[in-house]
Amino acid sequence: MATETILGVFAHVDTTVRALEELRARGYHDLTVYTPIPVHEIEEVLERDRPVSRVRLFTLLGGLTGIASAFLITIWTSMVWGQVTGGKFLQLVPGGIIGSSLPPFFIIAFEMMVLFGGFATVIGMVVLGRLPRLKASASFDPRFTNDRFGVAVHCAPERAAAVHELLRTAGAEEVKSR
Amino acid sequence: MSDGHSTPPTFADVNRDVLRTLEPPGNLYFAWMCVVALLLAGFFFAWAGQVWWGMGMAGKRVPQMWAMYITTFVFWIGIGHAGTLISAILYLFRARWRTSIYRAAEAMTIFAVMTAGLFPLIHAGRMWFAYFLLPYPNQRYLWPNFRSPLVWDVFAISTYLSVSTVFFIVGLVPDIAALRDASTGWRRRIYAMLALGWEGADNQWRHYRRAYGLLAALATPLVLSVHSVVSWDFAMALVPGWHSTLFAPFFVDGAIFSGFAMVLVLGLPMRHFFKLHAYIQEKHLDAMGKLILVTGLVLTYFYLCEIFTSLYSGEHIEKASLFWKVTQNYAWALWTMYFCNCVAPLVLFSRRARTSPVVLYVVSILVLIGMWFERFNIIVPSLGHDFYPYTWGIYYPSPTDTMIVIGSFAFFFLLFLGFIKVMPSLSIVEVKETIPAPMREKAHGH
Amino acid sequence: MKRRDFFKIVTASGAAAAAGGCQQATESILPLVVPNEQIVPGVASWFATVCRECPAGCGVLARNREGRIVKLEGNPDHPVNAGALCLRGQAALQGLYHPDRIAGPMVREGSGGFKTATWEAAEKLVVEKLTALRGAGKGRAIALVSQLESGSVGALLDRWGQALGARPRVTLEPFAYEPIRAANRITFNRDAIPYYAFEDAETILSFGADFIETWLSNVGYARMFARMHSFRDGRAGTFIHVEPRQSLTASNADEWVRNVPGTEGLLALAILRVMVDEGMADRRFGDAVAGVDLKKAAETTGVAAETIKHVAKAFAHAKPGLAIGGGVAVTGSNATETQVAINLLNAAAGNVGKTVRFGPDSAYGKITPHAEVAALARAMAGGEIEMLVLGPGVNPAFTLPSGLKLADAIRKVAFVVSFANVPDQTSELAHVVLPATHWLESWGDYAPREGVLGLLQPTMAPIRDSRPMGDTLLRVGRAALGTEEGKGPLPWPTVEQYLKSAWEPLVKGDLEGALRRGGVFADVATAAVTAKIAPVDASPAKLEGDAAGLALLAYPSLRFYDGRSAISSWLQESPDTMTQAVWDAWVEVSTETAQKLGIARGDMLAVKSPQGTLELPAYVSPTLHPGAVAIPLGHRYTPYQQRLQYVAPDPRSMNPMTILPAATDATSGALAFMSVKVTLTKLGTRRPLAVLQATHDQDDRELAQHVDLRAAREQALRGKAPHEPPITLYADKQYPGPRWGMTIDVDACVGCQACVVACQAENNVPVVGKASAAYGRQLHWLRLERWAEGKPERPTNLFLPMLCQHCEVAPCEPVCPVFAAYRTDEGLNGQVYNRCVGTRYCGNNCPYHVRRFNWFQYEFPAPLEVQLNPDVTVRQLGVMEKCTMCVQRIVAGKDRARDEKRGVRDGDIVTACQQTCPTQAITFGNLKDEGSNATKLTHSPRAYHVLEEIGTRPSVTYLRKVVREHA
Amino acid sequence: MTAKAGVGALGVALLAILIFLAVSSWSRQPAVAKPSNQPINFPHNVHVGTYKIDCQYCHSEARRSEYAGLPSVERCMGCHKITGAALPEVKKLAEFHAKKEPIPWVRVNKLPEFTYFPHKAHIRAGLKCQTCHGPVETMTTYAAQTGPRLTNDLLNLVGLRPAPPPLTMGWCVDCHRKENATAGRHAPLDCVTCHH
């Protein structure tokens, strides 16, 4: 069914928060809030019924992959053609590994963990944050990256008037339908 | 706004002031660029000569098979530490004063590491085979030697460069979005692309903050690891004066020390020319000053440890090496270092010094000189008087050496000067976070 | 022939040379038209011949690959050197392939320079001149000068001279040891230089005889010296050396006696006096020393009476001993008397016939006396000589004192023919140059001593348009005489035919065998002689010039002999062991003098004698006698003059001959090198010397170690304490096959540098030039260090050949990021050039600093590149290199063993340095084989490792030097 | 949007593969020169294939030397005085022989200068020449078909061309390892055996 988007532009944090509280109270949950900076008060309102961001999962997996691949490559390469350097070597014999000198490989492992972890984190952010978006969303307004706050409410057309009213009373400088 | 001390700036002011830094530069800027470009040309000329005629063009010899290249390499890696330290560690510690400088510091980090990254290539006798160091599958079944500190370097530095870059870019995204919305024409299109369509929607912020935190958490140990690994290039070797367990913390501290000095060397002029006194305030300078002072004192302590251990070791060769450094051909370099790194920072005990840009600037320059000489003193004199008396010798820098070392600074400044004119050298978002958010009822504000 | 390819590539583009190789130029490979039986491409064939770099006449084996000589080695069958070779012999190849070798005949146009000519044209000129002179009956106006040719070649030259009625041939050798001959005439009534049996002597008392550098036969005597002197199962001979300067030989002495220059004779007599007085010698010798008073002698000679006494004891108690004279001791105005005194010492101690053996007399005895050379010089100056023929290797304008005015004299000669094959100071004065073939390209023979005849055969085709001197002389001789081949006094078409016919009686049909052995060798019985005892004039040598001046000691150079070897860049760059200086001459000044005049090393000094001045950089030496200055002979800037390679040529002469007068030894008429006092003045300018060794002080690091003789004896009896295994966290490497190792006996090493040059020749080690060498960029894989211990003015010198130690726990290996340095399965420390990236980390981390880096793309100017060993890669710029323990020889040795279906035996593989070592100080072998010599030596009580405390566990074991109690 | 990302990722992956191929093939030492015209059109297939002449009859150095060697002109003439004397190519040979000139054969196989490859040891181990030099008995003019160049690698990759003996280090090592494992030989794997 068709939904309408009503955008309220605010100049102040407290007014924005008041609007959000109102909306939630009235049972409007399909909201998009635009802020130039992350604002605690606003987040508090929004985070109440949301799970923690899953980015950290990406990070964990990335890190583990890094460690694993590092140990894999270091140990495997010294197996396939292990040259003896400085009396140290890594050799597979029936009895197991002899002459092993593993400590240096931990350094590689650590670096690879950070590398993979880092990249995974960013990928996580991009994917979960629905980035990159190629064209601006309907309700976006350039001022939101400067000094204005925006609340976009997606609701059924028949309730639009009510939302208009609500946002204005909450203190929106300007309210428009998109 | 000439004086930002009276009334705190509003969000709009922040955007305006930061965007102002991106306005077309003046003649001074272009003059600077010309000097830099000239030096850079010399740098590439010297390098080409060295590749064509051989490493002999540089002043290396037996026993100093390493000299000014590795010195400068370590120097730049060190510089590259302050940025990520400020942006990651101080972020985790919620040190709010970092916000005004961290963007410039991060840029500095990346450019410093890029500069440093040139040196292993410049230094290699056959740089056209440098790719042998990468673990790539090849028909020879040959792999790099993962026991070699140089391979650790390859991993540590490439990781450091990529992670810091990622961190940097992530930090930039919302600001670029702001640029996009403030600019027009082709600039706008480019910024739009870089901004990845950032809108500051709640959903974006939510993952953004989390990711940023995690990156900071990853970067923090990385910062400490990288310079430790670099220090192991020396600590893992036998050379008297290198073979020391002290080196990892010693190098990390030195790196932070020199890093902050460089931040000031770059930050103070920016503050002056871009009139950013509202954002880089005296309390910031003061904090930086304190950090330099502390790291400087720690460094002094390490110097003492170094001397003590080699005296206490009872190792004839260790002692001989130490006495030679302190008294013989290279003594001047050693004492320069002691003065710049141990004595000069002491003035920062006074608050007036810490808040006076001029004093800070002078001290920072001295510290940078001192730290370059620290690396020089670790490498050249130690090698010059090591185990085998037959080959003891003195290293004389050749024109090629000098040109390349100077050129590396040109390379760095070229990148940095370019940066400050295309990207916000102050973080718009984080600066806004530090100033009170706009409220209608002031009573109810923070 | 793939190893040849890099010549093209290297010269084309440095970057793409040894390890680039991505580009592929099509190239052609040429098969032989008619297969040559002797030569299989890729397999070395060996030709025996005789080294003619000096009159010692050592046997040589030339290694021929694809028709070119790539390496020289001593001939093991030759009685003189028994397989060893000195550095000059090793470097002969540089003469053979010298870039400045004369390309073909040259004729001087009027007064101007040379222009190339055809052989016919050039020979025609000579023939015309000869016929003209003979026609005018002026045969005596023809003079023929050659180097010492003791065999059939000499006979041929004489015959040529007689046939044309020329003056008797003059053999020109600056170091002729005439006083020894003269003295032997006087004492033993025998005009000869005997064979000195070092090997049988218990004590050697040498008066200035530098037998490790140049004296008579340096390889042979160094070998024998090692046999008598180096420590073997508890026994070791004693060596006492008398010389005002600490020469290399002196530094090998157990006791070095520093005397006032020119007083050796008196010292010898004083020793004899003591022997007589203390009843250690026959009373009859009393009248010989009637006039000698010990106290006075002690004053004049500057040697303490006690020293004289105990030297006398040591010498007299030896059964038998041996006293020898040479070097500066017997080149003064009193040379003959000195040698007579030395003869008397031998007679008194009963050494004659035991260690002094007449019979196998040295070829030096056949050198034309200096009197005749002087006469010839006068004749030339007087215009009596109208045609002068100079054989190859004679360079009188350089090698004789300028006092003789020889250059001017030669200029007076109307027509000078030179057979030089490399331009030198004398050939520059010639009118016709007919380049003779190098001795490696020629037929010939040489008898270094009675009973030993070495045969020379061409080991390769001439690389330049040069012809054997003999052939040319035969041809022009016949033409001048108007006879044709087969008739007349000069019937032989070529010198080859002549020699083969001359050898027939000697080789008795087995020419092949003789050539393969390298000659015809027989033992000659010792002739009995009786000593005539007569008083000897004990007055010190008379020196011209400023009485207040310093005696000038001009001594033959270990590296260049009389200067004929100075054309070799290898020798220019192999350091003089005592000073460790390369590429330059110097004037050695005593510390006292230096302090007086405020001289530091490298300050330019003007050395002034009545004859003229010489400007040289100073080398301040704490050991030199304060009353003397010393300058090595034979230094000249010649390598690659035409290309001005390696060192900026200095117009100033470096040759002390230019300030020597034409002085002679009164009795024998021999040339006197120690004949003048000089004065020093500081010029204020500097010419820093390229000295490779930073310091001679070990700074208590015990790199070169020594042990007292008594202690060594005890240890030898007790045996070595078992070495506890090193502590390690990790398992040790197992060696499936052999494990190679090396031992170097510091006690046997005499510091002659032969190994250094041998290594350079074997392993394609480039020459870097003076500037680079001075800046620690020399590339020698093997270097010879001199470490001085004890009092600076009379130190104990230890010679330490330092090469890659092939450590078991090598510091260089783990730091290499690409496995270019690694440990091989046979215990070598491998270095893979084509994998090397050039981080130079290994070079820093090697505590011995034996790793060498290619700072530039080093050149091998044509045709020197032909000498490069095809089995060894030529390294590209930017790669690390170092001693490989001659891995190419290891590979070859294993290959040979596999052909014979057996394992590698001890002695199958001999490294280049070991092969050439005259004293056999170096032993290479399999350390897993308990029976191998190397392993046995590693168990010796004297065995130690350099810098053992670092824990690198080297595969190279050194044996401590054994020093005598009184040293 | 995600589809686009997928395409991008695929592109990146392909690019990576190409770069890897380029680098790795460039980093190999080309073992083989490009085919070129020989002064005499020598048909190996006739000599080896038809007349079954043993390789070492002509390349007689192979068993005793580092180099396989080329037959001396003398040896060629040994047969060709009579055999096929009328053939144009053989006439060329006769000319060279008459002029006592060597034949300027164009080199085909070439290992880099820093690689020491002794034919002797491999003949002693009973290796067939074809193992490294390919099916010589079928070649009209012996010139290596393919060297390890990028184009060839790609063609081999997609199976358009059978991979020839690449004469690359990895290939040598493979064989040495195989022989040691299966035939119980002691083929050396030490770097310095070939690189010294």
Residue B332 is part of a domain; what is its CATH number?
A: 1.20.1630.10
CA–CA separation, B167 and B212 (whole Å)? 7
Evaluate whether residue B322 is within a structural domain: yes
d(CA C869, CA C881): 16
CA proximity to C646, closest of C736, C752, C572, C556:
C572
pTM of the model: 0.91
Q: Which of D104-131 are b and which e, b meaning 16 or more Cβ less than 10 Å from the residue's Cβ? A: ebbbbbbbbbbbbbbbbbbbeeeeebee
CA C861 to chain centre: 24
Number of neighbouring beta carbons within 10 Å of residue C604: 18
Place of tokens 């020469």: C247
Under the banding of pLDDT at 50, 70 and 90, the label for residue D142 is low
C211 and C271 assigned to the same domain: yes
Q: Are the C-beta atoms of C239 and C359 separated by less than 8 Å?
A: no
Across chain B, mean pLDDT equals: 90
Cβ C384 vs Cβ C357: under 8 Å? no
Yes or no, beta carbons of B221 and A114 under 8 Å apart: yes
Looking at the structure, do residues C193 and C232 belong to the same domain, yes or no? Answer: yes
One DSSP character per residue, chain D reads: -HHHHHHHHHHHHHHHHHHHHHHHHHHSPP-BPPP---SS--BHIIIIIIS---HHHHSGGGGTSSS-----HHHHHHHHTTTTTTSHHHHHHHHHHHTT----EEP-B---TT----HHHHHHTT--HHHHH--GGG-SB---S--S-HHHHHHHHTTSSPPP----HHHHHHHHHHHHHHT-------HHHH--
Domain membership of residue C131 (yes or no) is yes
pLDDT reported for residue A155: 85
Together in a domain, A61 and A119: yes
pLDDT tens profile B205-228? 989 989 999 999 999 999 999 999
Contact C776 B391 (CB under 8 A): yes
- The answer to whether the CB atoms of A84 and C816 lie below 8 A apart is no
Cα gap C108→C454, rounded to integer Å: 37
Q: Which CA distances in Å does C923 have to A47, C225, C716, C745, C916?
A: 82, 18, 19, 8, 11
Give tens-digit pLDDT for C654-672. Answer: 889 999 998 899 889 999 9
Q: Per-domain residue ranges for chain D?
A: 35-70+105-194
In a domain, C2, yes or no: no
Residue type, D66: E
> At residue C781, what is the residue type?
W
Cβ contact C813–A86 (<8 Å): yes
Give the range of the structural domain holding residue C424, as residue numbers without chain letter: 106-171+366-449+452-521
Residues of C in contact with A99 (CB under 8 A): 730-733
* Cβ-proximal residues to B441 (8 Å cutoff; 6+ apart), any chain: A14
User: How many other β-carbons are positioned within 10 Å of the β-carbon of residue C76?
Assistant: 13
Q: Are residues A151 and A171 in the same domain?
A: yes
Residue-wise pLDDT for B11-59, tens only, equals 888 888 888 888 888 898 999 999 999 999 999 999 999 999 999 999 9
CA distances from C740 to C812, C837, C910, C932 (A): 19, 27, 11, 11
Predicted-complex ipTM score: 0.89
Which residues 199-218 of B are in CB contact (within 8 Å) with D? none
A89 contacts in chain C (CB < 8 Å): 733
Q: By the CB < 8 Å criterion, does C820 face chain A?
A: no
**Residue D153 has what pLDDT?**
64
Q: Are residues A101 and A160 in the same domain?
A: no
User: In this predicted model, what pLDDT tens digit does every residue of C80-128 receive, in sequence order?
Assistant: 999 999 999 999 999 999 988 999 999 998 777 899 999 999 999 999 9
Nearest CA in chain B to C879: B125
Q: Residue C622 and residue C610: Cα distance in Å, rounded?
A: 27
DSSP label at residue C793: T
Given this model, what pLDDT does residue B229 score?
95
Q: Does C465 touch chain B (CB under 8 A)?
A: no
Alpha helices in C278-334 (DSSP H): 294-301, 305-317
Q: Which residue of A has its CA nearest to C811?
A: A86
Confidence at residue D113, expressed as pLDDT on a 0 to 100 scale: 85
D168, two tokens: 């690359």
What pLDDT does residue C689 have? 93
Min CA distance, B203 vs chain D (Å)?
18
Return d(Cα C958, Cα C940) in angstroms, integer: 10
Structure tokens at C634: 């034979």
pLDDT digits (tens, 9 = 90+) for B255-265: 999 999 999 99
Give strand ranges (E) for C526-632: 550-555, 581-582, 587-590, 603-609, 612-621, 628-632
The answer to whether B158 contacts chain C (CB < 8 Å) is no
Among residues C633, C646, C643, the alpha carbon closest in space to that of C569 is found at: C646
C780 and C875 both lie in a single domain: yes
Please say whether the dihedral angle defined by the alpha carbons of residues D134, D135, D137 and D138, taken in this order, is positive or negative.
Answer: negative
Please say which residue of A128, A145, A163 terminates a domain.
Answer: A128
The reply to whether residue C874 touches residue D113, judged by beta carbons under 8 angstroms, is yes
User: Residue B441: inside a domain, yes or no?
Assistant: no
C35 vs D65, D74, D100: nearest CB: D74
Q: Residue holding tokens 């902050």? A: B260
Contacts across the C-D interface (CB distance below 8 Å) = 138
Question: Cβ neighbours of residue C864 under 8 Å, at least 6 residues apart?
Answer: C94, C97, C98, C99
Domain of residue C504, CATH code: 3.40.50.740
Helix (H, G, I), strand (E, B) or coil at C387: strand
Q: What DSSP string describes A66-124?
A: HHHHHHHHHHHHHHHT--BBTTB--EEETTEEES---HHHHHHHHHHHHHHHHHHHHHH
Residue of C nearest to D69 (CA): C41
Do residues A46 and A59 both lie within one domain? no
Mutation choice for D interface testing from C13, C22, C877 by most D CBs within 10 A: C22
- Contact criterion met (CB below 8 Å) for B326 and B320: no
Helix C294-301 vs helix C305-317: crossing angle, to nearest 10: 110
Give which of C728, C729, C733 to mutate to test A binding, by max A Cβ within 10 Å.
C733
Q: Which residues in chain A touch residue D1, judged by CB atoms under 8 angstroms apart?
A: 130, 132-134
Based on the domain organization, do A43 and A81 belong to the same domain? no
Interface touch B316/C700, C-beta < 8 Å? yes
The total number of structural domains that make up chain B: 1
Residue among D29, D73, D113 minimizing CB distance to C6: D113
Q: Which of C366, C407, C365, C402 is nearest to C390 (CA)?
A: C407
Alpha carbon of B419: minimum distance to chain D alpha carbons (Å):
27
pLDDT at B189 over 90: no
- In chain D, what residues touch A83 (CB-CB under 8 Å)? 191
Q: Are B424 and B173 in contact (CB under 8 A)?
A: no
The residues on A that touch C, with CB distances below 8 Å, are: 83-89, 98-101
Instruction: Nearest chain C residue to A99 by CA: give it.
Output: C731
* Residue B357 falls inside a structural domain: yes
Q: Is residue C313 part of a domain?
A: yes
**A134 neighbourhood in chain D, CB within 8 Å:** 1
Asked whether the beta carbons of residue C835 and residue D195 sit closer than 8 angstroms, the reply is: yes
* CATH number of residue A161's parent domain: 3.30.70
Chain-chain contact of D173 with B140 (C-beta, under 8 angstroms): yes
Judge if C837 and C958 occupy the same domain: yes
Binary contact (D105, C30; C-beta < 8 A) = yes
Q: Which residues pair with C956 in a beta bridge?
A: C742
In a domain, B6, yes or no: no
Residues 120-149, chain D, touching C (beta carbon < 8 A): 120-121, 124
- Burial of B30 per CB tally in 10 Å (0-12, 13-18, 19+): exposed
- Nearest chain C Cα distance for residue B388, angstroms: 6
Q: Three-state SS string across C171-233, please?
A: ECCCCCCHHHHHHHHHHHCCCCCCEECHHHCCEEEEECCCCCCCCCCHHHHHHHHHHHHCCEC
Residue C597 and residue C682 in contact, taking contact as beta carbons nearer than 8 Å: yes
Where in C331-439 does DSSP place strands (E)?
Answer: 356-357, 387-390, 415-418, 432-433
pLDDT higher than threshold 70 for residue D35: no
Q: Is the peptide bond before C244 cis (omega within 30 degrees of 0)?
A: no
Chain segment D90-124, per-residue pLDDT in tens: 999 999 999 988 888 887 777 888 999 999 999 99
The subunits that touch chain D, with at least 3 C-beta pairs less than 8 Å apart, are: A, B, C
Q: Look up tokens 């009393």; give the residue.
A: C286
Long-range CB pairs of D182-188 (<8 Å, 24+ gap) are D185/D125, D187/D125, D188/C825
Nearest CA in chain C to B131: C837
Asked if residue C550 and residue C630 are part of one domain, the reply reads yes
* Domain assignment of residue A98, given as a range: 55-128
Domain termination residue (choose one: A128, A147, A166)? A128
For helices B202-235 and A55-80, give the axis angle rounded to 10 degrees: 30
- Predicted confidence (pLDDT) per residue in B249-305, tens digit: 999 999 999 999 999 999 999 999 888 888 888 888 999 999 999 999 999 999 999
Give the range of the structural domain holding residue B240, as residue numbers without chain letter: 11-434
* Residues of B whose CB is below 8 A from A81: 141-143
Regions of chain C with pLDDT less than 70:
1-27, 37-38, 638-652, 722-723, 965-967
Same domain, C684 and C616: yes
CB half-sphere exposure, C817, CA atoms < 13 A: 22
Pairing of strands C255-257, C238-242: parallel
**A99 interfaces chain B, CB cutoff of 8 Å:** no
Are the C-beta atoms of C638 and C562 separated by less than 8 Å?
A: no
Give me the residues of C, 765-804, that contact B with CB < 8 A: 772, 775-777, 783, 785, 802
Residue B127 sits at the vertex; the CA angle it makes with C809 and B379, to the nearest 5 degrees, is: 55
- Least CA distance to D5: which residue of chain A? A132
Q: Does C954 touch chain A (CB under 8 A)?
A: no
Q: Quote the tokens at residue C752.
A: 């002659």
Characterize the bridge pairing of strands C415-418 and C943-944: unpaired
